[in-house]
Chain A
């Protein structure tokens, strides 16, 4: 286990630094660049806090829609497999497999999954 500061605390420190630089910027270009950098660090910090739960919820949602599959133990393998499952999911949506009675369940999953992305990337939009 790493010593403190935790990764979230380090990212927060960097984010604060970028925001300060943005406020003290010499011109509009520099102000904008530091603001974008601060926002990206905020995304990383929230991703560290929330993404683990979100990808497991996404996996469970796909299980309910496409059939249960065991979760790979290693995180990198789990994410690679989740991406593959999403590609397969997209093909089955296009083929019309979820038209009709199963569509409300599909839309529920899509909405929650997208909303979870936005909760990390742009929380102001995730009302």
Chain B
């Protein structure tokens, strides 16, 4: 069972994908980097006359209708690569004859295991450097506007506040995944709406946001950040979305006193972003965003348990995640100022 892909062998797509990206070239034997329910990533070396090209080919199985998403990710990577953001160099996106979607990228040397980044003694220098590097990368990502990307990006409705737009989407998902009543989350939506009603409308222009910017979606080496990866969630919105998702409790891997990804306190991260971007972050919006992002995570725990309960994927691990909704609710209450001691709202 260990290491087996639930989506079958996708390695057969790799040689043709590489030749489509790089022309007639000798393609070595691929080896699997990571497998999941959504796609597999294969490492492969290719060689023509010049030096060996070290590549990654990410393959989504046929029938997932992922092609438009893959092309969008490829186009965003092209935009970011051209702007000097640390991302894997995108080489090609396409569809295999049997319907698999693939994305060919240059392979980044480094590791993506967040727990190792947060704990390994030998990575102290990387931990020291990476917050400023991430702030610079995120600031550069946010400088891009939707028109800079040659693909359609999900946007707020015209004139709609990006935070209100995400709040609406999170509520839609809530009703989709709810397994039992959650009065604490109902209250959090009410709290958020009262906050939104008192806040000035957001008037900065919208820009590209990564959409899943967290310590698990980056590659690093001894010198710090090597690349920002996993751009599947990319869309247009406002900067506080990415800054707050990076602080969501689940992505701290237990280092809860360091709210920003288990690396530094929240305020140090926000200041690093402000230094790198020259833009001031709205702390009040950010606080509401962080509550909303934790509700998003609570919904992911419900969704995973639901995929077990609905028998899409029978798996005790997914079932157990359903019992993690509670500690996310506790975080939501605390972020909204509820302490349980003397009940300040």
Contact = CB atoms under 8 A, between A and B. Distances in A.
B343 A104 contact: yes
A40 B308 CA distance: 15
A29 B186 contact: no
A105 B180 CA distance: 23
A113 B180 CA distance: 14
A112 B340 contact: yes
Contact of A106 (B187, B316, B319, B324): B187
Contacts of A37: 316
A78 interface: no
A107 B3 contact: no
B265 interface: no
Interface residues of B, number: 30
B317 A107 contact: no
B317 A115 contact: no
A119 B265 CA distance: 26
Interface residues on A, range: 35 or more
Contacts of B64: none
B326 interface: yes
Given A39-B320, A90-B181, A122-B326, A111 B340 contact: yes
B184 to A, nearest CB: 5
A76 to B, nearest CB: 15
State the main secondary structure of chain A at its contact with B: helix
Contact of B181 (A43, A89, A115): A89
Given A93-B190, A115-B340, A125 B330 contact: yes
Contacts of B320: 36, 39-40, 43
B327 interface: yes
B180 A83 contact: yes
Nearest to B329: A114
Given A104-B345, A108-B340, A118 B186 contact: no
A114 B330 contact: yes
A121 interface: yes
Contacts of A36: 316-317, 320
B182 interface: yes
B2 interface: yes
Interface of A: 26-27, 29-30, 32-33, 36-37, 39-40, 43, 83, 86-87, 89-91, 93-94, 96, 98-99, 103-108, 110-115, 117-118, 121-122, 125-126
Interface of B: 1-3, 180-184, 186-187, 189-190, 194, 316-317, 319-320, 323-324, 326-327, 329-330, 333, 338-340, 343-345
